[in-house]
Structure 1
């Protein structure tokens, strides 16, 4: 069994997309591939076939590899829910809360669980493609590390380093990594890949050779700017800060960027719509008054984010929007915020407290210790709905008598206001159902051209795989991978 690990010179250098692209390229070659990330930190997650949850990037990589999602693909997931505090997910289930004071000691104790998952996956495939987290150059985090060299050394997995040339300084980033890590860690690195190159790769030939000479590592390719990557779901909230051109788009759908926004990839299918301009509203900015629709997204800390909405004045924007006859949808935590109250009698999100919601739905929510994690299928507005639930909380009230959807066994789910303008649901991913998305947009007098989101993601993965076959020495990477564990 072969294994290869991609680590980066920093965060957001494109490791996730490259691993996904390699998973698809190797799958296209007829290999059975499993993605793996020992430790991830993200509030964007997906439900797995074994009833757990993993980071969105590993879910995408599993789709790229054409295998079922499983909690072993991301055995340790940290979901930030407050400053210096994260929910700890181990093997897909909530294990507890980690703070900055106990993080390092706790993660060291998680290495056995990480290795259990890795060994289980390795028995089921021809090759495991591993993604690191952050950078091995963060030597202040090396002790107790399980995300990068700590895992690679224990599992004896060869590493290829990814550098991002678009941000500048890629020669120093790779050479500097070699300089600061210890010799045993350096010996695990077999080469590097230059990512996000714009223009003719031949123009960087001198720089490429300089990196090889300074680092002693071999280069395995210069990857061009992958324009298809924008069509893939993103895991990292940093993408929300990057403006997207919308010159040809018309109707505004606005979504406030909450401090603990979660599963914002729910909105990705809207980017396919030619009549939609999806506006992610940053803090300090009012929600556009001309918006046809406001969507309140998921949240990892619903009560704290409800307070943040009031601090930003977004509650005033949304209530004014509703008075003008504007539509508002809430997904998961956003659904809870649309109600009259949110209570946390068990201290799930921190100190026990209640908070008033927006009062746009006649519902109330009580947060509960048990997290719902399951794939769902049903109907909404007479169309097929497919998605998943991932939430803590029980919601009830008069508006639940007008459910958004009927799920398996005719279970009513969600709520719709008496005027039909406000919709709330715990279902993530429903906008990926083409016919349902069309039906819901038609309620806003927005025409959909019916593009298939799932097919769009799949085509993007194939295009990225083709680019990697062209620009990366994949045969060379396979030779490195074949030496894993030896």
Structure 2
């Protein structure tokens, strides 16, 4: 199990690299994260949902993702509450304070899922959440040491030297841990080093001497990590390349499934920019994307508070195109109604009025992989849907796509305003090329899927070169 001395120390990437390295050694390996908190979800073949990082780790293993890889997924809906997904299905919604009381009930499905993976594979590589140093959260813990001890899984502690203070991170973590928890730690790694690694020799020895934990090595910064799907919206770049056709995406406060953007960020001839709060839309954008969100009505209010509704209207008057994906599609319509209070207080919120459709929220969540054809170009399109609510209205007569023989999405009469529930569409090379051609982007570049595979292989090789993987992979034997 890889745990972190802090949040965002690179646990997800370390697990992905370990998984690919183990696979290259001929092992049957699977990833596992007991509890994840992310609005960036992936849909499994059986219609469940898990964290996007576990889907990438499954790819590193050469596996199709299954819900057992992330049995508890927390999807924040407000600053103080989240939807709880258990073994792929929506289980409840709870405020953070109330979730602490629910956690003990979730250890059983967590251990059940882990047992199935352990029985099916030579090796399971587990990712912790946050840090075990958050000892105020230890009671009822299912994500870090609580799981490690319940499942008897040895822990490797990862520290992030890039943000500074890594000696204190590691030594301090041991100092605050319960002795029985600290005894689960089989060693440590230092991640994200920049420069001459030998300059840290004394610090590395100090950590080992102070903690008594063996070190498995110092991993230099891996710059190609930015080419892999990010799980945290804060990891999305603020600025694009400055060259090519500009596509602007609104960084909504509850942005979800934002890995939709990764293939665009890497496409030659595209300048993808994230528009953060307080910043106006650029006047030279050819396309504005209103992305998915975990709170459609809440993010409509956020969007208006930034003045982006005014900017979008001006963008459309200039002849610019708009694509709304999932919650963004719902926002583009005339009204979003939530009579049962599924996403928050019951009521209705006026939409942006750029598409002649309305959305009604309901209790049923649609989570399914889909494939079909883009209506405007005929290009194959594939991806997944993960949403609540149904959308209908006159502009549905002009569908964005044909999925399974049925119309999907909506397009305005002039064809410049588009909405679709399909996430992941830009990962399909043929569709991406056809769609971007309509914006004046010349075809070219590496297949996105091939690029991810290449980077995963490079990550495994990078870890083989700098860490003692034989010892790391041996701690669980």
TM range (shorter): over 0.9
Shift of 1:477: 1.1
Shift of 1:443: 1.1
1:113-167, CA deviations, whole angstroms, 9 ceiling, x for partnerless residues? 1001000111110000000000000011111110000000100100000000000
Q: Is the 8 A contact 1:434 1:450 kept in 2?
A: no
Shift of 1:109: 1.4
Q: Distance in 2 between matches of 1:279 and 1:471?
A: 34
Alignment pair present for 1:292 and 2:279: no
> Residue 234 of structure 2 corresponds to which residue in structure 1?
238
Q: Distance in 1 between matches of 2:221 and 2:135?
A: 29
> Residues 75-90 of structure 1 correspond to what in structure 2 (within 5 A)?
75-90=71-86
Q: Distance in 2 between matches of 1:192 and 1:79?
A: 30
Alignment pair present for 1:271 and 2:265: yes
> Residues 121-200 of structure 1 correspond to what in structure 2 (within 5 A)?
121-200=117-196
Report the number of matched residues.
475
Which of residues 477, 482, 486 is equivalent to 2:472? 477
Shift of 1:36: 0.3
Structure with more contact order per residue of length (Cα contacts < 8 Å, sep ≥ 6): 1
> Residue 313 of structure 2 corresponds to which residue in structure 1?
319
> Residue 447 of structure 2 corresponds to which residue in structure 1?
452
> Residues 207-246 of structure 1 correspond to what in structure 2 (within 5 A)?
207-240=203-236, 242-244=237-239, 246=241
> Residues 389-400 of structure 1 correspond to what in structure 2 (within 5 A)?
389-400=385-396
Q: Distance in 1 between matches of 2:350 and 2:450?
A: 41
Q: Which runs of 5+ in 1 are unaligned?
A: none
TM-score (norm 2): 0.98
> Residue 442 of structure 1 corresponds to which residue in structure 2?
437
> Residue 412 of structure 1 corresponds to which residue in structure 2?
407
Q: Which runs of 5+ in 2 are unaligned?
A: none
Shift of 1:450: 4.2
> Residue 431 of structure 1 corresponds to which residue in structure 2?
426
4+ runs deviating over 6 angstroms: none
| Partner SS for 2:77 | strand
> Residue 254 of structure 1 corresponds to which residue in structure 2?
248
Q: Distance in 2 between matches of 1:86 and 1:143?
A: 19
| Partner SS for 2:476 | helix
| Partner SS for 1:167 | coil
Coordinate RMSD, CA, aligned: 1.0
> Residue 305 of structure 1 corresponds to which residue in structure 2?
299
Shift of 1:271: 1.3
Q: Distance in 2 between matches of 1:245 and 1:430?
A: 20
Q: Is the 8 A contact 1:273 1:448 kept in 2?
A: no
Alignment pair present for 1:359 and 2:353: yes
1:331-380, CA deviations, whole angstroms, 9 ceiling, x for partnerless residues? 00000001111100121101111011111111111011110011101111
Q: Distance in 2 between matches of 1:287 and 1:448?
A: 26
